Amino acid sequence: MLMESKPDKVLLHSCCAPCSGSVIEDIHKAGVALSIYFYNPNIHPRREYDIRKEENIRYAKKMGIPFIDADYDADRWFESMKGHEMDPERGERCSMCFEMRFVKTAEYAYQNGFDTITSCLGISRWKDFDQVTAAGVKAASLFPGIRYWAYNWRKENGSSRMIQIAKREEFYQQQYCGCAYSMRDTNKWRASQGRPAVQIGKDYYSLFAPKRPPLPERAPKNK
Ligand code: SF4
């Protein structure tokens, strides 16, 4: 794991159990003190938020890692994204969404004796790694002594281990990024493909699951 000096105490911003599984295992194995920070007011509706959070808590407990459950200030998220409702995924709204979550993470880190924050958001191939990193670096720079660990967790088979762990742990499998607008756009795309709308609480990873249908046409950015 690339970093000039080993961090003392890392606060990992986690969006969900599948994206954080291999990152948690990697940091834990490296012997670095780690806590998980769950601040995701973007996730809509509340039932989806609760399922994703409970899955993350379940895994944190299993690994014996402290889990910090921050507020669900969804009203503030909607207020902050005003004017960007129609932005595409990976557009300006996503940068604002990352920054909002990372600033809160960096603030908590600053107030609670952490020296480093990082995130598993960039492990998803649907995300732009550089966009996630820029938001993390910007957020950390607001708090003296806090740095953003910009490691690309997709490396060293991170992406495939992420799926292996998700299947092994039978994590909840979300069908859209998280916000109301991403659900709207996913449903639009699904309708164009003759597929059913997003169903909350339906899919779970499994070692025995049948092969999933092919992925959509929109090409993910791979780093
Ligand atoms: S698409 Fe995902 S990253 Fe972008 S604003 Fe919505 S929840 Fe946030």
DSSP 101-133: HHHHHHHHHHHTT--EEEESGGGSTTS-HHHHH
**Domain for residue 207, yes or no?**
no
**Domain for residue 201, yes or no?**
no
**How many Cβ atoms from other residues are within 10 Å of residue 115's Cβ?**
17
**Domain for residue 221, yes or no?**
no
**Domain for residue 2, yes or no?**
no
- What's the rounded Cα separation, in Å, for the pair 127 and 209? 25
pLDDT at 65: 97
Q: What is the CATH number of the domain that holds 145?
A: 3.40.50.620
Distance from the CA of 165 to the center of ligand 1, in angstroms?
Answer: 24
**Domain for residue 40, yes or no?**
yes
Q: Residue 13 pLDDT more than 60? A: yes
Query: What residues does 223 pair with on adjacent strands?
Result: none
What mean pLDDT, rounded, does the chain reach? 92
Task: For 37-61, give one letter per residue: b (16+ CB within 10 A) or e.
Answer: bbbbbbbbeeebbebbbebbebbbe
Q: Which of the four pLDDT bands, split at 50, 70 and 90, describes residue 126? A: confident
**Domain for residue 47, yes or no?**
yes
- Tokens encoding 75: 């009203």
**Domain for residue 35, yes or no?**
yes
Distance from the CA of 166 to the center of ligand 1, in angstroms?
Answer: 21
**Domain for residue 23, yes or no?**
yes
109: phi then psi, degrees, rounded to nearest 5: -60, -45
The pTM score is 0.91
Per-residue pLDDT of 78-118, as tens digits, reads 999 999 999 999 999 999 999 999 999 999 999 999 999 99
Distance from the CA of 134 to the center of ligand 1, in angstroms?
Answer: 15
DSSP 48-59: HHHHHHHHHHHH
Q: How many domains does the chain have?
A: 1
Q: Could you list the residue range(s) of the whole structural domain that residue 188 is in?
A: 9-192
From 43, 72, 78, 89, the mutation candidate for ligand 1 (largest count of ligand atoms within 8 A of CB) is 89
From 93, 95, 127, 175, the mutation candidate for ligand 1 (largest count of ligand atoms within 8 A of CB) is 93
Distance from the CA of 140 to the center of ligand 1, in angstroms?
Answer: 20
